[in-house]
Structure 1
Amino acid sequence: MRQPNKHGSGGEGHPLLATVLVVLLVVGLGVAWFQARSRVDRQGDQAAGKCVEGPATIPIIASPDIAEVLGEIAKRYNATRPVVRDHCVTVSVRPSDSKVVLEGLRGTWDTESMGPHPVAWIPQSSLWAAELTTGKPNAVEGSPDSLASSPVVLAMRSEFADNAAGKLAWSDLPGLAKRPNAMADFGLPTWGPLRLAMPVGVAADATVLSAQAIAAGVSRTSGPLTAAQAESRPVADGIKAVLDAAPTTPEGAAAPAAVAISRADPRRGMHAVPITEQQLYLLARTGAVDTSMRAFFPSGATPVADYPVLRLADDKVSAAQSDGVVDFVDFVKMPAQAALLTGLGFRTERAQPSMGNSAVSFPAVRDPLARPEAAASAAITKLVFR
């Protein structure tokens, strides 16, 4: 009788053992593959960390009211030693007046007087994007992303704000500007005519944005203001009436005007000025204006300073620099950095300022003014800076 093979040789074998061996072999190959892949990934990371393509600087120009905090955020960003497209990138932020930047970008950028050519520009509002792209349609890369926002309000004394609640719309301002006793409509007959400041000096975005709100109100449009509406006679006459009646403002700027309103006798001084909510918040927080001042939201769509990030499409800007701007903006929007912005009174996509003060309460903006067509924005800007 034939004896069984004790060592399992021959054709019968053990199928379970064979299966286990196959599984172990497959697992072993898989582990080896993942280990090899991991080594390749780490080597790639190490190569990137060594800046294979060298360093890249990313100069950004920003509106003066947000440039300082963005500079602090840039220091945080640089401390993370970011690498973009195998370049070690460094972001720098400097302030500049938007009119000066626009002139440089439209013409020849003078590095001696204006510093390095910017990779990105963050003005206070999109009106500057419209100004730039109207003359140079391909000057901006992609669709600008809003970094922060602040609605435009009228800074005024509390007596005026309390009496004007529900009675004053943006579209009312041209008519009120023409009347010698307009303040009587608000129970303030001794204050005389409405003296609404309309500063057109440095950082006059709030003035232009308020003019856009007036134009939208006069045109009775709920959508984006069109070029035809902006260039219409009623809009031109309305904005002209407000500008002609406007008193001279200190330094041609909104903040000094707000300070003057808080200190002057309302029977002789200015009564209101368009200003961003954020600027008025800081003025009240620092005591530059007294507790009598209020942020007033006229009826109608609310204009908003939106701080767009304009990535400049220029042969002086590399792909690594442009992508670096995107990476920096993503960093700015992270909670820790957004908290720096909201702490100064800016609104962001993910967070709002947690506390107001005597002048500003940060109410929800339920009806933001639609961004005008670029040609319409340019037409309104031209009317203001006539």
Structure 2
Amino acid sequence: MAHHRSTDGRGSVRGRGVSRGLVGSLLAIVLVAAVVVVWVQLGDRIDRQGEQAAANCVEGTATVPIVADPDIADALGTIAEAYAETGPVVRDHCVVVEVRPGDAKVTLDGLAGTWDPAALGARPAAWVPQSSIWAADLVSARPDVVDGQPPSLVSSPVVLATAPRLAEAFDDDLEWQQLPTLQQRDAALGAFGLGSWGSIRLAMPVGAQSDATALAAQAVAMQVTRTMGPLTEQDADSPRVSSSIEAMQSGAPQSPDGTPVGAARTIADAADPAESPIHAVAITEQALYQLTRTDTTPRLAEVIPGGPTPIADYPIIRLTGDDVAVEQTDAVADFFEFVRQPEHLAGLTALGFRGDAPLPEPTETVGFPTTEDPMPQPETAATVTINRLVYGPDSGPPSAG
């Protein structure tokens, strides 16, 4: 059936009217939507301007000097170049990280006393020495210049480098606490079937990069005091510790250049191992690996004495003070976060350092065994005490006063 529209008397069609309220609501919705769109576009524009300002380094360039142990400095410098390629920007500063090698004792003296830029270069924003023996000395002398507890970047166990024949004679039956006695007795190696070799002739180098000497002394101290936890100041101050370290130092053969590597070369180059002026030296596994990695016939052996194994921990000492700008502090954190990424850390572990990246293949000398019993970090005061026993009472930094 067809439907017809009704009309009024004037013939006009009567339809539904549109509510004025509905029209107003629609207009309000449109207006709000327009405001939201404009606001979002404005926010995006502000963000883009902020990103552009940051990318343009509106605050200029921030140079971040870092002093590192010579064993690790070149590799860190290579990683710093890769970091620069990412265009790092911190607090609106373009960041340039400059890594340079530095002698630990010289660096410590400068940081604990008055830093001389003319002689030492720009004051660093961070320092990566071979081990925490230097962090302890710096914290003891100038706690105000160290920013927090230094974390370890990579590590390397301390071992003994010996002639292969001597390592065979030890047959995993040597402990750290035996070193003082083996050093003092003329025919001490007779207990291992090598009576003609004399004493252990343990070198105790105290020159550049000789952290292994102090770390080995810490291991001896732990065993002779029967310390179960971290070595304490009271332990380190005990007569047994001082007499043990004195016994190792008394009559110790001299390294040609004052370093563990120099002593290890003397052992490796000896025509007759029994007649070598040096039979053993404490050294980092990493340094031993670098010294022997191309050897096809072993000239040296890696001996790991029983007991807690001391570790060279390569701490990241973040520095603070009036000479370190806030953007440098932040850039140090950002850079070492970059370094710790496995693809970059691999550049360090490839050199024999231990970290969260693959190690090199074992060699004729270095097998990179698992460290079953790592030595706990001693108390700061204990480390400083052992340092003085090893390096002498005048070897520390100037006092803070």
The TM-score normalised by the length of structure 2 is 0.88
**2:165 aligned partner:** 159
Alignment of 1:319-358 (within 5 A): 319-348=326-355, 350-358=356-364
- In the alignment, structure 1 residue 63 sits paired with structure 2 residue 69: yes
Of residues 69, 78, 93, the one that matches 1:72 is 78
Partner Cα separation in structure 2 for residue 59 and residue 13 of structure 1: 68
**1:116 aligned partner:** 122
Q: Which structure has the bigger radius of gyration?
A: 2
Partner Cα separation in structure 2 for residue 26 and residue 301 of structure 1: 71
Partner Cα separation in structure 2 for residue 85 and residue 12 of structure 1: 52
Q: 1:278 to 1:28 in 2, by over 3 A?
A: farther
- Which one-letter code corresponds to 1:93 in the other structure? V
Alignment of 1:42-57 (within 5 A): 42-57=48-63
- In the alignment, structure 1 residue 279 sits paired with structure 2 residue 281: no
- In the alignment, structure 1 residue 305 sits paired with structure 2 residue 312: yes
Contact preservation (8 Å) 2:267, 2:280: yes
Q: 1:385 to 1:117 in 2, by over 3 A?
A: same
Contact preservation (8 Å) 2:6, 2:14: no
Partner Cα separation in structure 1 for residue 14 and residue 202 of structure 2: 108
1:314 Cα deviation from its structure 2 partner: 1.6
1:142 Cα deviation from its structure 2 partner: 1.4
Q: 1:26 to 1:224 in 2, by over 3 A?
A: farther
1:112 Cα deviation from its structure 2 partner: 1.2
Q: 1:139 to 1:32 in 2, by over 3 A?
A: same
Partner Cα separation in structure 1 for residue 21 and residue 339 of structure 2: 69
Partner Cα separation in structure 1 for residue 309 and residue 199 of structure 2: 24
Which consecutive unaligned segments of at least 5 residues does structure 1 have?
Answer: none
Partner Cα separation in structure 1 for residue 152 and residue 358 of structure 2: 15
Contact preservation (8 Å) 1:204, 1:253: yes
Aligned length: 379
Give a deviation string over 1:10-38, Cα, whole Å, max 9, x none: 48989xxx99x96x988776665544433
- 1:92 match: secondary structure: strand
Partner Cα separation in structure 1 for residue 63 and residue 114 of structure 2: 21
Alignment of 1:193-342 (within 5 A): 193-264=199-270, 265-269=272-276, 270-287=278-295, 291-342=298-349
Give a deviation string over 1:173-213, Cα, whole Å, max 9, x none: 11222221111222222211111111111111011111111
Alignment of 1:33-44 (within 5 A): 33-44=39-50
Partner Cα separation in structure 2 for residue 278 and residue 66 of structure 1: 10
Partner Cα separation in structure 2 for residue 314 and residue 211 of structure 1: 33
Identity of aligned residues (%): 48
Contact preservation (8 Å) 1:63, 1:97: yes
1:8 Cα deviation from its structure 2 partner: 6.4
Partner Cα separation in structure 1 for residue 286 and residue 34 of structure 2: 61
1:215 Cα deviation from its structure 2 partner: 0.7
Of residues 15, 18, 21, the one that matches 1:9 is 18
Contact preservation (8 Å) 2:128, 2:317: yes
- Which one-letter code corresponds to 1:336 in the other structure? E
Q: 1:13 to 1:66 in 2, by over 3 A?
A: closer
- Which one-letter code corresponds to 1:162 in the other structure? E
Partner Cα separation in structure 1 for residue 369 and residue 85 of structure 2: 36
Give a deviation string over 1:297-327, Cα, whole Å, max 9, x none: 1111111111111111221101101111111
1:56 Cα deviation from its structure 2 partner: 1.0
Give a deviation string over 1:256-306, Cα, whole Å, max 9, x none: 21111112122221111111111111111244x951322211111111111
The alignment's C-alpha RMSD in Å is 2.4
1:2 Cα deviation from its structure 2 partner: 7.1
1:244 Cα deviation from its structure 2 partner: 0.8
Which consecutive unaligned segments of at least 5 residues does structure 2 have?
Answer: 8-12, 393-401
